[in-house]
Chains A and B, each alone.
Chain A
């Protein structure tokens, strides 16, 4: 009987350990939050407006403050979510913004920063800042404001940015 139990355990243990090792990997594909400067009165943005903001079509907040785009560097999950939102590859994104600036439609390309810490810093400095960040990085008390996307907060059912 003991031998039978040990055999069952020997079979189950690899399965359990595999599950434990796999779980953190899937959690990395986190939800992405839309953050703005805490003094910005906006509380909600639609998916289509978010796309227009990040492709430079929409350049001012309703209050008239110029939008300042802050994006994470290539290779980050948030960057991939942004590219998916815009329907572009990394090289198309760079080409697109070079053309936007050259056309004279915008003064400069989005501010590219390498880490969440720098996003946080920039979002505090620029009154019109907006950025996409990993929702798990945003902690209570941080000088950032998470806004709703299509009426949903990150983690809600129906939240689409992930």
Chain B
């Protein structure tokens, strides 16, 4: 009897609950196994990376000891006196590559685009205008940064962009010497991307970082037919303004743009705006109460001309008189760009809304042109899949000497981004564009983009 009681104790008291719990766990864990394995594999990769970096640090320390260098202990932190600037040890971030103190990262893409019209339309990023459809490589970006001191760093972005007939153009998109005094005062000197609106501030050349396959037309790079001066050389200051829970930030830029934008309508002309020095001031707030929300605006001013010339022929040679075009006289215009934006980015939701008013007023007497434009983009992430919808609108007067090629363009874009892994994404996008006095344009854009 006592032996039976012992058996019952073992079976009922220990084994049944144990099996019960494990059964429950097995059911729960079956769906988490793959995540756990991938997380463990990731940890192993990071451990290996960290091990390599530690080995490198040991090697450097041993080399220092051989040369008699000493390691100073870290200075104490106090509110009264910040410690002297010191160069920190190399970061062990797995995402950036470190070579002799220079961190670098690359971005690349492969595109396929097809339009339902063979009528000439500007080919950007290697798309051949008038073709039924073709492959091109778009932008290839090399991004390099290096910390010089505790507060000073240098940043460069070198872009190799495919043009017509598989010719490639190298562009130094950004070259900045940065000095961060504190959270309220950060300086950048050099070639920067203007902070007109949110999109140009948030997204650079790398397509992998943006949800859609291309940029909204109003935010397209000027060298690809976009409306705004997207690049400038000068100084940019940004930082936060003490404002409590409002989270107010500012940006102020002063520089030279010199925008040259090709006409979008495929007439083979380009407009050299010969910009004067530009001033751009912006404010935006990120309220504590609504994490992910950003509301802001900016105002930009410079003086430009409307000097029209033929686009470069093969080999980049410009022949005035090509296409029977005579260089137009250059009128001087005041250009003012006002932007307002409302953005929400959190919990897998991306909701971008921006509106612009671009005003061109002759310095001498003449007609004033106002060009309104906006885009709205919504996307929601479901695991690796992110469907998106965008609607954009640009309305320029046909008489506007700067935007006579653009006229009225509006329509939706629908598509999806699928992240194959943390570094490669595939995007499919369908665009429908309605144009004033021209047939509607439908396009399919497929893109494979990645970071390395």
Give me the interface of A with B, judged by CB distance under 8 Å.
6, 10-11, 13-14, 16-18, 21-22, 37, 39-41, 48, 51-52, 57-66, 68, 73-75, 87-89, 91-92, 94-95, 97-99, 101-104, 107-114, 118, 125-128
Contact = CB atoms under 8 A, between A and B. Distances in A.
B422 to A, nearest CB: 5
Interface residues of B, number: 76
Interface of B: 5, 8-9, 12-14, 16-18, 20-21, 36, 39-40, 42-43, 46-47, 50, 74-83, 88-89, 91-96, 103, 105, 107, 143, 145, 147, 150-151, 153, 155, 157, 174, 176, 178, 180, 182-183, 188, 201-204, 206, 209, 240, 245, 247, 286, 288, 291-292, 346-348, 381, 384, 419, 422, 451
22 contacts: A10-B8, A16-B13, A18-B20, A18-B21, A21-B18, A39-B76, A51-B291, A52-B247, A59-B180, A63-B80, A65-B77, A73-B43, A87-B292, A91-B422, A95-B209, A98-B105, A99-B203, A102-B105, A109-B93, A114-B47, A125-B89, A127-B77
Given A58-B183, A112-B92, A74 B145 contact: no
Contact of A112 (B93, B183, B209): B93
Given A39-B77, A57-B286, A108-B93, 14 more contacts: A13-B13, A18-B17, A37-B74, A58-B240, A60-B182, A66-B180, A73-B43, A75-B42, A102-B157, A104-B178, A108-B103, A113-B92, A114-B50, A126-B74
Given A64-B82, A125-B89, A87 B36 contact: no
A66 B16 CA distance: 56
Contacts of B180: 59-60, 66
A17 B40 contact: no
Contacts of A62: 79
A63 B42 contact: no
Nearest to A17: B17
Contact of B209 (A16, A37, A99): A99
A96 B76 CA distance: 32
Question: Across chains A and B, which 3 residue pairs bring their CB atoms closest together, nearest first?
Answer: A75-B39, A13-B13, A64-B82
Contact of A68 (B88, B155, B381): B88
B83 A127 contact: yes
B36 A60 contact: no
Contacts of A127: 74-77, 83
A86 B95 CA distance: 19
Nearest to A36: B77
Contacts of A17: 13-14, 17-18
